[in-house]
Structure 1
């Protein structure tokens, strides 16, 4: 029987002597939920954890692409596509994309995530040349305009990543978890690039068609552990990897909520966690917001719930609003300014 260990994260200015700091961040825990596929969950004190699990949960996360992870970080979404579910077409032209990226940086984004292929449910694969033409010039122009924040290239394809990195991208964010293009992992290893490994069941064209899991939380955890271990074997250090459970990617409403309720389990991977929920369908369903543009409040609410479980990065469309919420959230629980 395999056990899984989820820290019951707490935050606040006072903590008991038995509290253990989580991943060098703002959260701490005194107890852990022990989960398995074969028995009911139980709660144990943190000092009963196996030593290797304790090490993964408590080791401070090293900086990623120059960003320290001892405070919450915001990744701004810049889609240069005509068909993304929320902002398709808004940043399709070079001038519009550059203006949007600079505005996100000025609003407080810690990193800009640039994508040229929609991965909304039902989206079709974009040819490599088209994806490069949508992303590489945008990255080049942003750097020429003085953008100093890290840039992430949101792609499944090695050739797209290569073009993006040549123009100034610092991180590769692959929604397939490095399962789509076998050349992408070796490229990242060769160039010492940090990466984000996301979980998705199926590809964008089909992932929304009846996704099924034995236990969605543990299934996603196991899949991410396999991919992270594979990248480690290839020469990419675990300290250079972000893990994203892939909310909405091959998951229905119940799957999404189960993952969000226990997202602190993924700290046991020993990597920082990235959470991307911004404007997604389940927020519209639960928040009575049929139009994606009207889902900022719900998106921020879910992001704050993730931060309360120690999630280090949130990927968002509404940068200024999210930063305001995060700053006040931090001030209210800690009694200090972020």
Structure 2
């Protein structure tokens, strides 16, 4: 793949993640009438690390254009390239775990204290994810000793970026946490008061995690199982990494856009039109039936604006 095309596609993915994340926050504040929560901020942190990764990727690809990688092991004579690549590993790994942390924060708000079994499952998932993130950072830092080997032209084959064990360990930790976070919400379904159609819809939302897992697996196969004759070039490899980060950010945000999808659905639009006609008729007649609504009823309607309020768990 050409370097310019790779950078352009990565920039598009970065912009897509920005658009979805911004839309998520707009829905939260303007449609649901809620303040931003910790899970929203964690998604933004993940996007910022994606920006850091994209910056490093663009710089590295620009260096490759002037200092092409040579030989079957694709070696370089640029110390700057090696330093940029080493820094990018931290942006990538931290950027992947921020959306996971956002999802866990959402689960913490969703599961009430009275459901000890589900709370314990969430505890375990959180602890495992935190340990996996810490382990990934330790692998990035300690697998090449001394750490200066990561930007040494002579020792670049043993750097973190070129280390087979680092690739296997970090991907295994990343994919296993994705699998846990994909399975965990299905345990919530048996304690949710939902109609069948709502249950099917919620299963579809939870299944979005399969997209992230599929992209991650494809990236791993492309990078880890490439033979000497089919080594993936930096332009294509970096695009795969960016696609995985983008998918992680987007998939975590998509379920939060449900209020917008409901607002845009044809059925809901027709209901709103009918409600508008009724309100106009009431105004013309001078009757104000909503002013007679009990206080509890108003609170119930306001609570109904929150998509999370619909997930009422059985005590």
Shared fold (TM-score greater than 0.5)? no
Relative to its length, the structure with more strand (as a share) is: 1
TM-score for both structures, normalised by structure 1 = 0.21
TM-score for both structures, normalised by structure 2 = 0.22
Query: Radius of gyration: which is bigger?
Result: 2
Relative to its length, the structure with more helix (as a share) is: 2
The one of the two structures with greater contact order (alpha-carbon pairs below 8 A, sep at least 6) is 2
